[in-house]
Amino acid sequence: MSTTRYIKLDKEDTFGDGGQGNDTKFLKVADADFQTEFEFDELEEINRASLEESYRVLKEGSGSWTMWGRANELPMLLHALFGDVDMVDVGADVDTKQLNFEPDEDGIFSFEIEEGKPKKAYRYKGQLIQEMTITAEVGEVMTIEVTTTGNGASSSENKTDDDNIDYVDIEKCPPFRLVNASIEIGDTDKTNVRSVTITYNNNISDDEHTLGSLDIQEEPPAQRREIEIDFEFSNEEDSVYDDFIDGTTAELDLTFETDTEIEDGHPYKMEWMFPKIQYREHSASQSGRDPVRADVPARALFEEDYEYNNGDGNTTTDTEVVCTLVCDDTDNVSE
Rounded to an integer, the average pLDDT of 28-35 is 77
The helix or strand, by DSSP H or E, that contains position 79, with its residue range, turns out to be helix 75-82
Amino acid at 169: D
Please name which of 285, 297, 298 lies closest in space to residue 235, comparing C-alpha atoms.
285
Which residue type occupies 65?
W
Residue type, 98: Q
> What average pLDDT does range 40-48 have in this prediction?
43
Three-state secondary structure call for residue 39: strand
* pLDDT tens digits, one per residue of 4-22: 878 888 999 888 888 888 7
State how far the Cα of 100 lies from the Cα of 316, in Å rounded to an integer: 12
pLDDT band at 57 (very low <50, low <70, confident <90, very high): very low
Predicted pLDDT of residue 39: 45
pLDDT score for 248: 74
Backbone angles phi, psi at 239, to 5 degrees: -65, -35
Q: Compute the radius of gyration of the chain from its Cα atoms.
A: 22
CB 213 within 8 A of CB 146: no
Residue from 259, 278, 280 nearest 268 by CA: 259
Rounded CA separation 87/225 (Å)? 24
Which is more confidently placed, 212 or 236? 236
**Residue 238 DSSP SS3:** helix
- Given pLDDT bands bounded at 50, 70 and 90, which one contains residue 36? low
Residue 283 predicted with pLDDT over 60: yes
- The Cα 211–Cα 220 span in angstroms is 15
Strand intervals (E) in 75-142: 83-89, 97-103, 111-117, 120-137
How far apart (Å, rounded) are the C-alpha atoms in residues 151 and 329?
29
